[in-house]
Structure 1
């Protein structure tokens, strides 16, 4: 089905990668109010949105998602600017060291857990608190007070490949799926939809910088049944789908998009 999105989007990690392309996909579907958040500048994302949509309104916020006060303030700023939050995409995350448990330093493990799990939890908590205060945009049974999508990973569903010992990353993404499911069941009856996206190997700038022939990532790509990496646009489109009425009966889902990697 075709769908149109009307409302306010709040996107962390919006300066590049999947967060950036989620903004583009949401705009294509009709969203015209954005709060774009990142520790790094969101200049390129803003430039592209304004080039293609003259009526777009954008609030830019520099955000470290592990800072509770900053997260809460970013929600307050968004509501002050736009009145509500309809589509939240908690996407900010880091990979951490490719180390096994016996090798990884505690500070690196803790940093990955803080950003990838605590950061998502802090954002989701603040978003839920706001969404509980606002009404649905329509009387349709397929409508919600708000929709939240969290970026997990295929490595939140399976263990990492032996060539990719991303212990901390996998641990954090398993936990994000658990958080998504736990809150989804509690808040669905209250009119809040929460789901997770589980990407496989995606052609983000970071991944592409490691794709020299014979590299770890090239060897991993060969294992993908589709024989290619996923694109950032494909992931952005799935974020738009999860926020739309087309996914109105999906609650606590961990939507996998990995070219078939996890079904082999």
Structure 2
């Protein structure tokens, strides 16, 4: 008598694509998915950083040195024979008071955090629809659930992607495609390191996290890997907050 196969984190035979993969959260996600035996395509502008990542993965990662805002990137996604997992990670932030936000800064963040994320998910969904299955994971932020001073544009873009996540989940469910987000708190990365050098800022951040510490990239990657796997087969339209309890209060 055969028994049903238990769900697992084994991603053998799956193809994943991770944007913004050269450093920080994206790099951790790529390495985590590769450790679960997925074929991982990593996208970033820096060829050198991607070559380092390939070496760290033992050659299990395929590098695409590309700008996600380049139409050629979207064409390359659509040309894939299969795509099982998209980790929509690329994004940027420029904290400043709302009265100091220039139109160039606004356009930069809307273009990268919202437009590029939408178009990447759109292209991935087309490929996934052909197979009738897939998992799209948008990296958002706890700032996609709350507001914060000096982060008006960032909060706006991350709230937008949380909304996109829900809408895509509803629309794509009949095609067997799940769409979720992972919303981290402040994570120790090359991007945040200069911020934490300010002791007052660091103390303020820690005071708002009940677990009393910032996160690490592997903790975000763990949530991503769960959503990429069949352990999360009934989870769609949701946001996993890897925030140490920040948004619970």
Contact 1:212 1:218 in 2 (8 A): no
Instruction: Say whether residues 1:250 and 2:235 are aligned partners.
Output: yes
Question: 1:171 deviation in Å?
Answer: 0.5
Map 1:1-264 to 2 at 5 A: 2-6=8-12, 7-31=14-38, 33-41=39-47, 42-50=50-58, 56=60, 58-67=61-70, 69-76=71-78, 79=80, 83-96=81-94, 98-135=95-132, 145-160=133-148, 162=149, 165-212=150-197, 214-264=199-249
Contact 2:68 2:116 in 1 (8 A): yes
Contact 1:207 1:217 in 2 (8 A): no
Q: Secondary structure at the match of 1:36?
A: strand
Report the TM-score, using the length of structure 2 for normalisation.
0.91
Once the two structures are superposed, residues 138-157 of structure 1 have per-residue CA deviations (whole angstroms, 9 ceiling, x without a partner) of: xxxxxxx1111011110000
Q: Secondary structure at the match of 2:192?
A: helix
Question: 1:103 deviation in Å?
Answer: 1.8
- Shifted more, 209-218 versus 84-93: the winner is 209-218
Once the two structures are superposed, residues 67-99 of structure 1 have per-residue CA deviations (whole angstroms, 9 ceiling, x without a partner) of: 3x223223145x2xxx31111101000012x22
Question: 1:214 deviation in Å?
Answer: 1.9
Instruction: Measure the CA separation in 1 of the matches of 2:123 and 2:199.
Output: 44
Contact 1:11 1:90 in 2 (8 A): yes
Instruction: Measure the CA separation in 2 of the matches of 1:20 and 1:91.
Output: 10
- Number of equivalences: 240
Instruction: Measure the CA separation in 2 of the matches of 1:47 and 1:64.
Output: 21
Instruction: Measure the CA separation in 2 of the matches of 1:10 and 1:192.
Output: 15
Contact 1:198 1:254 in 2 (8 A): yes
Question: 1:105 deviation in Å?
Answer: 0.5
Contact 2:8 2:230 in 1 (8 A): no
Q: Secondary structure at the match of 1:102?
A: helix
Once the two structures are superposed, residues 234-262 of structure 1 have per-residue CA deviations (whole angstroms, 9 ceiling, x without a partner) of: 11111000111111111111111100011
Question: 1:47 deviation in Å?
Answer: 1.4
Q: Secondary structure at the match of 2:99?
A: coil
Question: 1:213 deviation in Å?
Answer: 5.0
Contact 2:8 2:229 in 1 (8 A): no
Contact 1:201 1:221 in 2 (8 A): no
Q: Secondary structure at the match of 2:113?
A: helix
Report the TM-score, using the length of structure 1 for normalisation.
0.86
Instruction: Measure the CA separation in 2 of the matches of 1:60 and 1:100.
Output: 37
Contact 1:94 1:116 in 2 (8 A): yes
